[in-house]
Structure 1
Amino acid sequence: MEFAKPLPSYLVQRYHGWKATTYSENRTWYRRLATEGQRPRAMVISCCDSRVHVTSIFGADQGEFFIHRNIANLVPPYEPDGDHHGTSAAVEYAVTVLKVAHLIVLGHSQCGGVQGCADMCKGKAPQLEVKESFVGRWMDILRPKYDLVADIAEETEQLRQLERHAVVASLENLMTFPFVREAVDDNSLSLHGLWTDIGEGGLQCFDPETGKFDVV
């Protein structure tokens, strides 16, 4: 397996620093997590974007969140077709096995995936239109929501609104999963839609009554 290379030295150094400090100071807690298993109270579906640091935003420790990341924090609709569904599998495990009490979809500002979806809808991203584009086909999940922002003239505001619609689309699609709907209906699971402004550190929460995102 010649294509696999040793870990870069800076990461090796960071690991040893973590092992000597954070791990060493919390050894009992880590061993407890290992032996007793995980019992997260919430699942968070967030974007792959490296600037979105879920545990830092909420000051969470290991074991608190079951986290799944993908491009633009999207959840596809329920489609049990036998193909590979990483996001759907993560949702199923969190809800049916871990029995999390909260399922959070976290969107963010300056999302490259959402930008790609907007560019596709405007005919500006032919590379994403081809069948072989994994990103393009994934962003097809969000594509129907573009019509809701197409008339917004200011591009930045259009993108911010589409980012929020990505969160709402995921919440809507989550409810197409029978086991999610069942858990929501019996009040053992609650869904939450959030959007964070990376530059300002802001956080907004979706209000289903008004259809708007309110400052937390």
Structure 2
Amino acid sequence: MALLPDHLLAGHKAFMSGRYRTEEQRYRELARAGQEPETLVIACCDSRAAPETIFDAAPGELFVIRNVANLMPPYSPDGEYHATSAALEFAVQALKVKHIVVLGHGRCGGIKAALDPESKPLSPGDFIGKWMSMVEAPAKIVRGNELMTAGERQTALERISIRFSLANLRSFPCVSILEGKGRLTLHGAWFDISTGELWAMDPETGDFQRPVIDIPDPDPAA
């Protein structure tokens, strides 16, 4: 039996002959000096919404936490296991990131499950159900809006959950204190898998809008 799936080995071979070769010095410097990313991204584990790809990030540029539906749980120092909170603590306290971005995306499976009252547990542990119960209150309100289509309800809860996670981030003392001192900035963003569009949350109103960016037209001669 192969040690790894063939497509992963082929991908690593391409990485070594491509990106690693062109950025070898950067990788070696990161290994020697350690990482100093300025931005933490809390993203979904959906394979279609990788932050490093969406933001075309260089090695060492982003510190990324990925979980189901890019949720940030509230501050709960109860002695239990808290992977997302532990990663947040490291990013803020040790790496001293300057920005935290909660990155949601369209067609999120976790959000879809939260909106489906008939959704069945995938296992006796129902880990997904427990995790998504964090947004049950807004999900119930959105679910009951019959004036919206299913797609509109999905997008609405995807964006509401981003604001929900930003509020939970501020329940962490290390976040709220640094934000109050102007040393840490929180952002919300939503990525459309189908079109590639990125929507950013206005920190004052909570509305999502597309940032104005110049995207060059394809070269007709190419």
TM (norm. structure 1) is 0.91
Of 181, 190, 202, the residue aligned with 1:195 is: 190
How far is the alpha carbon of 1:26 from its aligned partner? 2.1
Secondary structure in structure 1 of the residue aligned to 2:186: strand
**1:1-216 alignment runs, 5 A limit:** 6-119=3-116, 123-127=117-121, 132-149=125-142, 150-151=144-145, 152-216=147-211
How far apart in 1 are the matches of 2:99 and 2:17?
Answer: 34
Residues 44-103 of structure 1 show CA distances to partners (whole Å, capped at 9, x for unaligned) of 000000000212221210010000100000000000111110100011000011000000
How far apart in 2 are the matches of 1:34 and 1:15?
Answer: 18
Task: Name structure 2 gaps, 5 residues minimum.
Answer: 212-222
How far is the alpha carbon of 1:144 from its aligned partner? 1.5
How far is the alpha carbon of 1:9 from its aligned partner? 2.1
Letter in 2 for 1:168: R
Question: Is residue 105–residue 190 contact of structure 2 (8 Å, CA) maintained in 1?
Answer: yes
Secondary structure in structure 2 of the residue aligned to 1:127: coil
How far apart in 2 are the matches of 1:58 and 1:126?
Answer: 35
Question: Is residue 74–residue 166 contact of structure 1 (8 Å, CA) maintained in 2?
Answer: yes
Question: Is residue 96–residue 179 contact of structure 1 (8 Å, CA) maintained in 2?
Answer: yes
How far apart in 2 are the matches of 1:29 and 1:203?
Answer: 28
Secondary structure in structure 2 of the residue aligned to 1:106: strand
Question: Is residue 101–residue 188 contact of structure 1 (8 Å, CA) maintained in 2?
Answer: yes
**Aligned residue-pair number:** 209
Task: Name structure 1 gaps, 5 residues minimum.
Answer: none
Letter in 2 for 1:173: N
Deviating more after overlay: 152-161 vs 132-141: 152-161
Question: Is residue 107–residue 195 contact of structure 1 (8 Å, CA) maintained in 2?
Answer: yes
How far is the alpha carbon of 1:23 from its aligned partner? 1.4
Question: Is residue 49–residue 105 contact of structure 2 (8 Å, CA) maintained in 1?
Answer: yes
Secondary structure in structure 2 of the residue aligned to 1:104: strand
How far is the alpha carbon of 1:137 from its aligned partner? 0.3
Secondary structure in structure 1 of the residue aligned to 2:182: coil
How far apart in 1 are the matches of 2:2 and 2:19?
Answer: 27
Question: Is residue 190–residue 199 contact of structure 2 (8 Å, CA) maintained in 1?
Answer: yes
Question: Is residue 26–residue 59 contact of structure 2 (8 Å, CA) maintained in 1?
Answer: no
TM (norm. structure 2) is 0.89
Secondary structure in structure 1 of the residue aligned to 2:18: helix
